[in-house]
Amino acid sequence: MEVVMPDGSVRAFPRGTPLSAIAEAADPALARRAIAALLDGVEKDIYWPLEGGGRIEFITPESPRALEIYRHTTSHLLANAVKDLFPEVKIGIGPATEEGFFYDFERREPFTPEDLERIEARMRAIKERDLPIRRIEQPKEEALAYFRRLGDNLKVELVSEKGGPVVSCYRQGEFMDFCTGPHLPSTGRIGAFKLLSLAGAYWKGSEENQQLQRIYGTAFPTDARLQEHLRLLEEAKKRDHRKLGPALDLFSVEETAGPGLIFWHPNGTIVRQVMEDFWKEEHRRRGYQMVTTPHIARDELWRMSGHFEYYRENMYTFEIEESGYVIKPMNCPGHSLIYKSRLRSYRELPIRYAELGTVYRYERSGVLHGMMRVRGFTQDDAHIYCTREQILDEIKGVLDLVITFLKTFGYDRYEVDLSVRDATHPERYAGNADGWKMAEDALVQALQSRGLSYTRREGEAVFYGPKIDVRMFDAIGRPWQGPTVQFDFNLPQRLGIQYIAPDGSQTPVVMVHRAIYGSLERFVGGLVEHYAGSFPVWLAPVQAVVMPITDRTRDYAREVQRILRQAGLRCDLDERSEKIGAKIRDAQLKKVPFMLIAGDREAQARTVSVRSRREGDLGPMGLLAIRDRMVQMNAGRVPGP
RNA sequence: GCCGACGUAGCUCAGUGGUAGAGCAACUGAUUCGUAAUCAGUAGGUCGCCGGUUCAACCCCGGCCGUCGGCUCCA
């Protein structure tokens, strides 16, 4: 048979030659390192006997696809160790994930952290034994009989559902698992790994099903890469907004008041207001009109909008004088009422209503998370009511706005998703096919016109319309949910939102719902982590601290503060009787961008010694020079340090 | 909501049934000092809350609240 080698040459091998032998023939050094192969692009185990020839490539520990194989094999190692130590345990599934791997187990007693240590030790022992890992293809019935004999009901369920007439399993020593592979050729080839945590997880991801115990871990080909990953986890921990936020006195969550409710402290409120000012400025400039709508409304409104039907579980309701009321979970019905408060002509469109609207939603206690997932939050919401002809320009306008914001906040990397409906199930969606097509075309055209590449996500649209979602990546490469643009075919229909067309007819509007920050809480939480608490000058709660060195220069320092404050800068004065080193240390810990040191020399020369939080001592600068520089950074919303 | 872990001073953490501790922060005083911690003193706790066991509970048991890691669901 003929084999196309990795270098492109074609060579002949006898049928049944193992891929490892082909690697050997290609390059003995490669053969030693190859952990698996690609046959015409399909992953195969390295010992797999090749029957029909084809194009061969080899996967080495450095290959991007290698990681998944290492992790998947390590998850089997985990299950193997658990079975050894706890024979009564039933095994579920154990895939590789973005960050590592997990395996789900059914066991009456909970695993303890001590169990985890024992399991990890056993895993290492099995790795040491260097057991061969072999793929076994057998009739489905045989595999079923095997798992039945072990009482592994979950596996029996999986094999019955997923397996064809012949199913593949992987065996290492006494342990065998139902799996498509590929895997490392032996347990000794497994790299560095670590078990990380314990969690509950529903069988097949459904709340209806029993809950299993999930053990999480991570694995890498080398210890260096594992250590690097663990270091990154530490780094993420240091940036955690739930830690930094209270430490920098930005916000707190108060048990007395209840979970999921954010108290914005003065420092946090500065960040928030600066963001709000920027937002209002940009929106007014682009023809948005600010509106304000009430926090509560009769349930009548929410019945009309459909929320009472579809969103009730998330709404807080109460009664006043025997009428039912709802605390608003969304702003759109309110905006639509303003639109409907009188007849609208096509001449008025597009109408763009914007509101920093605070909404409250009931979220199950287990999902709450710092500022990221809360029960009360402020959306930077806007609704665009326009004609079909105006759609494209409107979407383009929104995308321009989105890009402006991403840049300003230093999110240089982002990805765009376009979520469209599952066209095979039109009954699940509001609006007609024509509307969906038109909306989708407009979204695609707008994205193209702005040179934005995107991933199309079939069936990911909400029931009321297609949407664009932006995912932004922070300074250490983690994704955050960003701006979103959504069409809404439901509300205009339900609320009868129309305009008078040139021919005098009543025509339904097209409604677009969009948010840039999403929620101020979530966005600020993300920013804290993105900047690790070191906000750029324009956002920093305190932009500079003036530090007199001795009491002799106290009055001068006060003057410096006054000058900066008069220029609109947020400037503190540290006149404690501490040494300069201590003042610097404290300002540094508060992540203040500039420290302005005022000693005798500076007072004499009408300068300050400038110290940057990031670059350290920058030497003396004239008062007006530092003032103007900071004013420029502030007004220019310079995203950097 | 579910599974598991955790909850001691503002923060970080000691404290295995017998009178609650340290460092930092805070406050007071001294010190007037040149780029990440000056020194001394003082104060600060219903050990998350409620109940139970016990002569005695921060410690053991139960319930609740909250936080964290996940699952499930979302800005």
Whether any strand B atom is under 7 angstroms from the Cβ of A592: the reply reads no
Which percentage of chain A shows pLDDT scores above 70?
Answer: 100
The predicted pLDDT at position A139 comes to 92
Q: State phi, psi for A86 to the nearest 5 degrees.
A: -130, 80
CATH architecture of A2-59: Roll (3.10)
Instruction: Tell me, yes or no, if A543 is annotated catalytic.
Output: no
Instruction: Tell me, yes or no, if A332 is annotated catalytic.
Output: yes
The predicted pLDDT at position A477 comes to 87
Residue range A102-148, pLDDT digits in tens = 999 999 888 888 888 899 999 999 999 999 999 999 999 999 999 99
Q: Which range, of A307-321, A350-364, A545-559, averages the lowest pLDDT?
A: A307-321
Ranked by mean pLDDT, the top range of A150-159, A200-209, A397-406 is: A397-406
ipTM: 0.94
> Please, which pLDDT band fits residue A287 given cuts at 50, 70 and 90?
very high
| Contacts of A366 by beta carbon, 8 Å cutoff, 6+ apart | none
**Nucleotide nearest to A113 in CA–C1' terms:** B5
Residue range A246-255, pLDDT digits in tens = 999 999 999 8
Whether any strand B atom is under 7 angstroms from the Cβ of A95: the reply reads no
Whether any strand B atom is under 7 angstroms from the Cβ of A366: the reply reads yes
> Please, which pLDDT band fits residue A563 given cuts at 50, 70 and 90?
very high
List the domain boundaries for chain A.
2-59, 70-236, 251-530, 544-635
Q: What's the average model confidence in pLDDT over A547-566?
A: 96
CATH superfamily of A544-635: Anticodon-binding domain (3.40.50.800)
**Which window residues (179-218, chain A) lie with Cβ within 7 Å of strand B?**
197-202, 205-207, 211, 213-214, 216
The predicted pLDDT at position A426 comes to 83
Q: Tell me the average pLDDT of chain A.
A: 93
| Contacts of A8 by beta carbon, 8 Å cutoff, 6+ apart | none
d(CA A323, CA A301): 12
Asked if domains A251-530 and A544-635 share a fold, the reply is no
> Cα–chain-centroid distance for residue A491?
29
Question: Which positions on chain B have an atom < 7 Å from some protein CB?
Answer: 1-5, 11-12, 30-38, 65-75
Indicate if the pLDDT at residue A348 is higher than 80. Answer: yes
The predicted pLDDT at position A600 comes to 95
**Nucleotide nearest to A601 in CA–C1' terms:** B34
The predicted pLDDT at position A555 comes to 95
**Which window residues (292-311, chain A) lie with Cβ within 7 Å of strand B?**
none
Which of A104, A115, A380, A381 does the annotation list as catalytic? Answer: A381
d(CA A459, CA A594): 50
The predicted pLDDT at position A411 comes to 94
CATH of domain A70-236: 3.30.980.10
d(CA A45, CA A570): 63
| Contacts of A507 by beta carbon, 8 Å cutoff, 6+ apart | A346, A387, A498, A499, A500, A501
The predicted pLDDT at position A53 comes to 83
The token pair at A568 is: 């609109």
Residue range A426-438, pLDDT digits in tens = 888 888 888 899 9
Indicate if the pLDDT at residue A625 is higher than 90. Answer: yes
Q: What's the average model confidence in pLDDT over A559-584?
A: 96
CA-to-C1' span, A259 to B60 (A) = 30
Instruction: Using the C1' atom of nucleotide B32, identify the protein residue whose alpha carbon is closest.
Output: A550
CA-to-C1' span, A577 to B38 (A) = 10
**Which window residues (454-473, chain A) lie with Cβ within 7 Å of strand B?**
462
CA-to-C1' span, A319 to B44 (A) = 45
Instruction: Tell me, yes or no, if A169 is annotated catalytic.
Output: no
> Please, which pLDDT band fits residue A208 given cuts at 50, 70 and 90?
confident
d(CA A230, CA A191): 15
Q: What's the average model confidence in pLDDT over A527-533?
A: 95
Look at the block and give the residue holding tokens 């032996």: A186
**Nucleotide nearest to A600 in CA–C1' terms:** B34
Instruction: Tell me, yes or no, if A383 is annotated catalytic.
Output: yes
Whether any strand B atom is under 7 angstroms from the Cβ of A521: the reply reads yes
CA-to-C1' span, A576 to B43 (A) = 20
The predicted pLDDT at position A320 comes to 92
Indicate if the pLDDT at residue A24 is higher than 80. Answer: yes
Q: What's the average model confidence in pLDDT over A591-603?
A: 96
Whether any strand B atom is under 7 angstroms from the Cβ of A257: the reply reads no
CATH superfamily of A251-530: Bira Bifunctional Protein; Domain 2 (3.30.930.10)
Among positive and negative, which fits the CA dihedral A443, A454, A367, A76?
Answer: positive
Indicate if the pLDDT at residue A418 is higher than 80. Answer: yes
Instruction: Tell me, yes or no, if A229 is annotated catalytic.
Output: no
The token pair at A174 is: 């006494």
Which of A172, A213, A379, A561 does the annotation list as catalytic? Answer: A379
The predicted pLDDT at position A551 comes to 93
Distances (CA, A) of A10 to A30, A34, A137, A297, A605: 18, 20, 30, 75, 79
Please state the three-class secondary structure of A311-337 as a single string: CHHHCEEEEECCEEEEECCCCHHHHHH
